[in-house]
Structure 1
Amino acid sequence: MEWHDVASELLRVRGEALKRYGYLLCGDREEADDLVQEAIVRVFSQARRSWEVGSAERYVRRVMLNRYLDQYRWRARWTRLLPRLVSPNTADDFSAASGERLDVVGALDVLSPRQRACAVLRFYEDLPITEVAERLGCGTGTVKRYLSEAVARLGEVLVLDQAEGENDHG
Structure 2
Amino acid sequence: MDDEAGFREFVAARLAQLSRVAYLLTGDHHKAEDLVQVTLVKVARHWRRVSAAGAPDAYVRRALYHEHVSSWRGKRVPETPTADPPERATGRDESAEAVRRIVLRDALAKLAPGQRAVIVLRYFEDLSEADTADALGCSAGSVKSQAHHALARLRVVAPELAELIEDAEVPA
Match of 1:62 in 2: 62
Match of 2:85 in 1: none
SS in 1 for 2:49: coil
Q: How many Å separate the matches in 2 of 1:50 and 1:42?
A: 11
RMSD of aligned alpha carbons: 2.7
Structure 1: 4+ residue segments shifted above 6 A:
none
Q: State yes or no: 1:155 paired with 2:117.
A: no
Q: After TM superposition, give the deviation of residue 73 of structure 1 in Å.
A: 2.7
Q: How many Å separate the matches in 2 of 1:38 and 1:50?
A: 16
Residues matched between the structures, number? 139
Match of 2:27 in 1: 27
Q: How many Å separate the matches in 1 of 2:123 and 2:53?
A: 23
Moved more, 135-144 or 118-127: 135-144
Instruction: Report the TM-score when normalising by structure 2.
Output: 0.70
Moved more, 118-127 or 26-35: 26-35
- Which 5+ residue runs of structure 2 have no aligned equivalent? 76-98, 163-172
Q: Could you tell me whether the CA contact under 8 Å between 1:26 and 1:32 is conserved in 2?
A: yes
Match of 2:71 in 1: 71
Q: After TM superposition, give the deviation of residue 142 of structure 1 in Å.
A: 1.1
Q: After TM superposition, give the deviation of residue 107 of structure 1 in Å.
A: 0.9
Match of 2:114 in 1: 114
Q: Could you tell me whether the CA contact under 8 Å between 2:50 and 2:59 is conserved in 1?
A: no
Q: Could you tell me whether the CA contact under 8 Å between 1:3 and 1:44 is conserved in 2?
A: no
SS in 2 for 1:74: coil
Instruction: Report the TM-score when normalising by structure 1.
Output: 0.71
Q: Could you tell me whether the CA contact under 8 Å between 2:104 and 2:161 is conserved in 1?
A: no
User: Percent of aligned positions with the same letter in both sequences?
Assistant: 37
Match of 2:83 in 1: none
Bigger Cα Rg: 1
Moved more, 53-62 or 105-114: 53-62
- Which 5+ residue runs of structure 1 have no aligned equivalent? 76-99, 163-170
